[in-house]
Amino acid sequence: MSELKSMSDNTPNSPQLESQQRRRFIGAATATAAGLAIAPGVMLYEVAHGRSEDEAVSSAVRWGMLVDATKCATGCNDCVSACSTENGWTSVAESKHPKQAPQWIRKLELQDPLTQMETNLPMMCQHCAEPPCVDVCPTGASFKRADGIVLVNRHTCIGCRYCMMACPYKARSLVHESLNDTQKPDVPRGIGCVEACTLCVQKIDRGDGNTACAEACTAAGHNALLFGDMNDPESEISKRLRELPTKQVRADLNLNLGVRYHGI
Amino acid sequence: MKSLLALGVVVLTTAALAWAGSDAQPKAGGAPKPAITKAVKGEQCVEDTDYMRRNHMKVLNQHRDQTVIEGVRSKKHSLKECINCHASEKTGSVAAAKEDFCVSCHSYAAVKIDCFDCHSTKPQGSAAMHPLNAETAHYKHQLAAQATSKVSAEEMARVAQ
Ligand code: SF4
Ligand code: SF4
C-alpha cells in the first residue's frame, strides 16, 4: 500500500495510480494477448524501445531477466564487475569495509552436499511484481516503476533499512559512508540511502535495451544472461521462457519475479 | 497589536525587496559576494536568468520526480544539464571549490544543499572526474574480480529459507 501512497503523493495523474486489482487484470490481459488485432492476421504490438524523451514509462512493458545457470561459468565474475563499473559502486574485494560494501549483484557458487554438483548463478534484486520492500517502506521511497523495475527514490529514503530486512533475496545494501563525489553522473547514489540493482535503468531509459551484466556475459561468450521485455511475446526472453523450464527463487512466496532461473 | 505586527512585517518585506532589487547593494558584513561565472557552454539558460535565480529549486524538484518515478529523462530541466553548462573551467565541477557555480551562491545565502551527497558535481566523461569513476575503472574491477568471495551452502540455505 505504501507504493500507492507514494504515487499519489508525487504524481497525482500518474498512470500507475491503478488499484492493485486493476493492475493484476492488466497484467493478465497483456500476458495472454499483448497485442491488438487491427485486422485479421495483423497485430499491433506496443514498441518497447520507441519511447520518446518526455514520455512516461508504461506498464505495457515488463522488463525481466532470464539467468541460465547451466551456462554461468565457474570463477567468472564479469557480470559483477560490469555492474560495479556501470553503476559506480565499490565491490566487496576492493572495499575498505567489506562487510558494509554494497552488492547490487553477487555471484553465488553452490554445491549440493549430497551429489557434489556445483551450480553457479548471479543473484540480485528480482524485481518482484509484488515487492515486499515496497510494502514495508514507511516513506514510499521504495517503489515499483510502471515497467516493473523496483527502485529506491533516494530523495525520500530515510535509510531505515526496513526494506533490507523485508527482501527475501538480500538484494539491498545501505551506503554507509560519504562517497565524496565519486558517483557516475548517470547513477546518483549516496550516504544514508538504500540501493539495489536497477536493471540499469539509466541504460534502459537511454534505449540501450540491455543491462551491463548481460552485455558483459555475452561479451565473455557465456550467454547466461538474457534481458528483455517479458510482456512482448515476440521478444527473445519471452520465446526462451516459453521453451525452457525456469524457476523463480522462493516461488512459494508468490512474488512474481522479474528474474527467472533455468538450471537450478 | 496584531495590525502593528502586520505593519512591521510589511515594512520589513518592502525593505528586503528594495535591498534585493537595488543594484548598489550594501556590502553585507564582510561576507564575500557570490562569484557568478557565466556558463562555460551555451548562451542562454533554459529559462530566464531572473526566473532561475528564484525558482531553480522548484524546476529541479518537479523534474526529479518525473525522472525518478516516470522515467522521463528530457534534458531541459535536468540537473545533469545544469552541471554540463555550469561546471567551472578550473575545477570541472559545480561544487568542488568555493567559487564554483552552485556553492558560491549557496554559501552566500547560507543554504545548505545535499544534492551532491548523491549527484556527481561533474559533467559526464570530464577529465576532472575522480579516478574511481574514470573509464579505466573496470581494469581495477577485473583484478578485484579474481578475489571471488565464496558463499557457503549454509549461508545460501539461510537466504533461501
Ligand atoms: S528482490 Fe528484494 S529488493 Fe528486489 S523487488 Fe523483491 S523484495 Fe524488493
Ligand atoms: S531504507 Fe529507504 S527505501 Fe528502505 S524502507 Fe527505509 S525509507 Fe524505504
**Res B153: pLDDT:** 53
**Res B27: pLDDT:** 52
**How many structural domains is chain B composed of?**
1
Q: Is B136 exposed, middle or buried (0-12, 13-18, 19+ CB in 10 A)?
A: exposed
Residues 6+ apart with CB under 8 A from B42: B85
Structural domain span for residue B115:
26-160
**Res A146: pLDDT:** 96
8 Å CB contact between A87 and A104: yes
CA of A71 vs chain B CAs: smallest distance (Å): 18
CA of B94 vs chain A CAs: smallest distance (Å): 11
**Res A250: pLDDT:** 97
Residues of chain A whose pLDDT is less than 70? 1-50
CB atoms within 10 A of CB B47: 14
Q: Note whether residue B12 is domain-resident.
A: no
**Res A54: pLDDT:** 85
Any idea which architecture A63-262 has in CATH? Answer: 2-Layer Sandwich (3.30)
- pLDDT higher than threshold 50 for residue B35: yes
Quote the CA–CA distance of A51 and A231 in Å, as a whole number: 16
pLDDT tens digits, residue range A33-46? 444 454 554 544 44
Q: Note whether residue B19 is domain-resident.
A: no
**Res B21: pLDDT:** 43
Quote the CA–CA distance of A254 and A257 in Å, as a whole number: 8
Buried b (16+ CB within 10 A) or exposed e, B138-148: bebbeebbeeb
Quote the CA–CA distance of B100 and B106 in Å, as a whole number: 10
- For residue B71, the chain A residues in CB contact (below 8 A) are 51, 56-57, 145-147, 201, 204-205
Q: Note whether residue B17 is domain-resident.
A: no
Q: Note whether residue B103 is domain-resident.
A: yes
3 state SS for B15-51: HHHHHHHCCCCCCCCCCCCCCCCCCCCCCCCCCCHHH
Q: Note whether residue B8 is domain-resident.
A: no
- pLDDT higher than threshold 90 for residue B22: no
In angstroms, what is the span from residue A137 Cα to ligand 1's centroid? 12
The CB of A129 under 6 Å from ligand 1? The reply is no
Q: Note whether residue B16 is domain-resident.
A: no
In angstroms, what is the span from residue A162 Cα to ligand 1's centroid? 12
Buried b (16+ CB within 10 A) or exposed e, A140-155: bbbbbbbbbbbbbbbb
Residues from B contacting A (CB-CB < 8 Å) are 64-66, 68-75, 80, 83, 93, 96, 116-124, 130, 132-133, 137-138, 140-142, 144-151, 153, 156, 159-160
Has the ipTM of the complex gone over 0.90? no
Given A54, A170, A184, which is nearest B120 (Cβ)? A184
Q: Give whole-number Cα distances, A104 to A129, A170, B58, in Å.
A: 19, 10, 32
CB atoms within 10 A of CB A177: 12
- For residue A147, the chain B residues in CB contact (below 8 A) are 71
Amino acid at B139: Y
**Domain locations in chain A?**
2-49, 63-262
DSSP strand pairing (A150-152 vs A42-45): unpaired
Q: Note whether residue B80 is domain-resident.
A: yes
Query: Whole-prediction pTM value?
Result: 0.75
What is the chain B residue with the closest CA to A140?
A: B69
CB contact under 8 A, A188 and B75: no
Quote the CA–CA distance of A181 and B130 in Å, as a whole number: 7
Which alpha helices (H) appear in B23-125, and where do they start and end? Answer: 49-70, 79-86, 101-108, 115-118
Quote the CA–CA distance of B100 and B37 in Å, as a whole number: 8
Query: Which residues is A43 bridged to in the sheet?
Result: A37
Please state the atom number of ligand 1 nearest to the C-alpha of residue A127.
5
**Res B142: pLDDT:** 40
- pLDDT higher than threshold 90 for residue B154: no
Nearest ligand (C-alpha, residue A105): 1
Q: Which three cell numbers stand for residue A179?
A: 562517497
- pLDDT higher than threshold 90 for residue B115: yes
Average pLDDT in the B28-32 region?
A: 67
**Res A31: pLDDT:** 41
**Res B157: pLDDT:** 53
**Res A107: pLDDT:** 96
Q: A227 versus B29: which is more confidently predicted?
A: A227
- For residue B149, the chain A residues in CB contact (below 8 A) are 92-93, 98, 106
8 Å CB contact between A136 and A5: no
The three-class DSSP label of residue A220 is: coil
CA of B138 vs chain A CAs: smallest distance (Å): 6
Please state the atom number of ligand 2 nearest to the C-alpha of residue A194.
1
Counting residues of chain B whose pLDDT is more than 90, the rounded percentage is 44
pLDDT tens digits, residue range A183-212? 999 999 999 999 999 999 999 999 999 999
Quote the CA–CA distance of A37 and B93 in Å, as a whole number: 53
Q: Note whether residue B81 is domain-resident.
A: yes
**Res B132: pLDDT:** 38
Pick the range with the lowest mean pLDDT from A83-87, B121-125, B155-159. B155-159
Pick the range with the lowest mean pLDDT from A175-189, B90-104, B144-158. B144-158
- For residue A188, the chain B residues in CB contact (below 8 A) are 118-120
Quote the CA–CA distance of B61 and B78 in Å, as a whole number: 10
**Res B33: pLDDT:** 82
Counting one residue from chain A and one from chain B, the pairs whose CB atoms sit within 8 A come to 133
What is the DSSP track for A222-264?
Answer: ---EEEEETT-TTSHHHHHHHHS--B-TTGGG----SEEEE--
Closest CA to A140 of A21, A8, A14: A8
